[in-house]
Amino acid sequence: MFALAPECTISDIAPLQAGLTGLLEHPSSVTLDIEAVQRIDTAAMQMVVAFVRERETQGRQVQWRGNTSVFGSAARLLGLAPMLHLPDCSDERS
């Protein structure tokens, strides 16, 4: 399992990239914990989508854990939710 940090933004994206890259070759299903995410930007969302897609092309699963409100709202506003199969949730300002 990999837990996303509360602040997932471009100025501090290195840990996210390192964490996700380390999970790319993980043979079994990977769970991303998005519970703690308080703020996320497009750069970070783009990275998560790239991760999910690359896992998908390898036939490997990604599972989600935690409250999706901030993450889900960002995914929906960016039109990325269908790629991640995240449910709709209410919008809020960050």
- Cβ neighbours for 79, distance < 8 A, ≥ 6 positions apart: none
- Of 27 and 92, CB closest to another protein: 92
Which residues have CB under 8 Å from 85's CB, separation 6+?
none
Give min distance, CB of 63 to another protein, in A.
3
Q: Of residues 32-91, which lie at the interface with another protein (CB under 8 A)? A: 38-43, 45-47, 49-57, 61-70, 72, 74, 76-87, 89-91
Q: Collapsing DSSP states into helix, strand and coil, what is residue 48?
A: helix
11 lies in the site for another protein, by CB under 8 A = yes
CA–CA separation, 46 and 80 (whole Å): 9
Structure tokens at 85: 């199969």
Binding site for another protein (CB under 8 A): 9-14, 17-18, 20-21, 24, 29, 31, 38-43, 45-47, 49-57, 61-70, 72, 74, 76-87, 89-94
